[in-house]
Amino acid sequence: FGPVQKVELKSSEKKAPKVEQRADGVRLHVNFARVVFKESASVSKALEASDGRISSAAVLPLPGSTLKEEMKASKSLYRDAGELRQEIDEWMAGYDSREEEKRRLARESALVDEDGFVKVVTGITRAPDGEFAIRSAKKPGLTTGAFAEPIAGAPGD
């Protein structure tokens, strides 16, 4: 509408009109704005755009130049879908090759080292022929505590 000299905003909270709403924690807010324009012509434009009613959803339309700027800004937020898809595809192809390289290095590290010693790896790994090889197993823990004791009269007593 025109250049603005000052804007004053005031927000106040009011009690909900019904007891049930107050019990549910419903809060009502009333907002006021006072806009001081630098030029009187701007005031005339703003008053022409308003309909004179006080409403909870009173919104004045944006000036054309501001609307164009906001449209440009919203379009620049998103990348081109084709470029984004191509970048994701390249990254995923690279990811697959990186993961394969990690697996290959892990297999090579499990082989014999330069001194002739075989490196021992814990866990379950695949042997070169595709079979699983268990490198270590967890020892069974001792059953201790109140529930580890046999119950009198149970089978096996």
pLDDT for 149 beyond 70: no
Nearest in space to 63 (alpha carbons), one of 133, 109, 1, 136: 1
pLDDT at site 49: 76
Flag the least confident range among 3-12, 19-28, 37-46, 53-62.
53-62
Relative to beta strand 132-134, strand 124-126 is antiparallel
pLDDT at site 157: 47
| Adjacent-strand bridge partners of 76 | none
pLDDT at site 86: 93
